[in-house]
Amino acid sequence: MKQYTSLNDIKNLNTLVKKAIQLKNNPFQYSHLGKNKTLIMLFFNASLRTRLSTEKAAKNLGMEVSILNINATWNIEFEEGTIMNLNTSEHIKEAAQVISQYGDILAIRAFPSLTDKEKDTAEWVLQSFQNYASIPIVNMESATDHPLQALADAITLEEHKTVQKPKVVLSWAPHPKALPHSVPNAFVHLMHRMSDTIDFVITHPKGYELDTKVTKNASIVYNQEEALQDADFVYTKNWSSFSDYGKILPMDTNDTNSTNHTNWTITQEKLGNAKFMHCLPIRRNVVAEDAVLDGNNSLVIAQANNRTYAAQVVLQEILMGLV
């Protein structure tokens, strides 16, 4: 593996998922592989799960880890040809080349602006690092994708499926803040990769259609109850509107005072016997009610645990390519 910026960088998903599951039983078996190799983790946005799981994954492989939180004191210029006499103090050309000299793999987290649709969709930050970095890049959640989460989800699905071809529903859920599309996009990418072994349905209120370049021919059912029927897995996530970019939509677009689709919260009754998945952090009793999260069918803690092995199998494959 040369890099891991999207699921497309995985040649054989099934094999990688199986390797990750094996790793869980013996996470230190490749602890020589990362000797004298450094993972640099660059955070433009805060992180808990990604930070701790990826750091642990790297250390399980014997790597050194350098963590850099980018804040207001170090503004990177991404535009070409700018006269840099304002707020930006370093150009991505220098930044990416320089950092590449201090490490062997560069992991980056950079959320979307949710205001500049064009730049977000073009993966402005991640793509700029790819253009100028000279070491492999790992995407720790970018403007439009979160492939480490998708791989962890693939592992979780493999571990918990009980039927040959389970029905998986991606359901939108309400949230007080406008959130990115990276996680639902990543999950849709995964579902497309697993289309032979999974029946996939997306459900969300009208107006919350994801980028059609991502969803392609995926089945969309606007009635949540209908969509959830006979589901084996319900993957829940809020996201903001893509068409009315980065906005939270009123419930009824004719009535801007309407409440915020609170009836889309996942309840135990809606869930039925399906397994519940969410990338976390989750707002209890907004995205899903307590009974769902505290119930036996919740996989959210298992998903978070699989983040370590998703990151580890990815770093392992990249390290093998470096030797």
Residues that bind its own copies (CB under 8 A): 27-28, 31, 36, 38, 40, 46, 48-49, 51-53, 55-56, 59-60, 64, 66, 68, 71, 73-74, 77, 81-86, 88-91, 93-95, 97-99, 101-103, 176, 280-286, 290, 293-294, 300-301, 304-305, 308
Cα–Cα distance measured from residue 208 to residue 245, given in angstroms and rounded to the nearest whole number: 10
Our CB check for its own copies shows the closer of 176 and 272 to be 176
Residues 4/57, Cβ–Cβ less than 8 Å: no
CA torsion sign for 277, 9, 106, 78 is: negative
Q: How far is the CB of 300 from its own copies (least distance, A)?
A: 7
Our CB check for its own copies shows the closer of 8 and 295 to be 295
Helices 300-322 + 49-60 axis angle, to 10:
40
First CA to last CA distance, the chain: 12
Q: How far is the CB of 240 from its own copies (least distance, A)?
A: 16
SS3 call for 82? coil
Cα–Cα distance measured from residue 20 to residue 126, given in angstroms and rounded to the nearest whole number: 25
Classify the phi-psi angles of 141: left when phi > 0, otherwise alpha if psi is within -120 to 50, otherwise beta: left
Q: How far is the CB of 280 from its own copies (least distance, A)?
A: 6
Our CB check for its own copies shows the closer of 55 and 145 to be 55
With b meaning 16 or more CB within 10 Å and e meaning fewer, what string describes 162-171? eeeebbbbbb
Our CB check for its own copies shows the closer of 53 and 215 to be 53
Q: How far is the CB of 64 from its own copies (least distance, A)?
A: 5
Q: How far is the CB of 89 from its own copies (least distance, A)?
A: 5
Our CB check for its own copies shows the closer of 157 and 293 to be 293
Residues 54/44, Cβ–Cβ less than 8 Å: no
Write the single-letter amino acid at 278. H
Q: How far is the CB of 84 from its own copies (least distance, A)?
A: 4
Our CB check for its own copies shows the closer of 80 and 196 to be 80
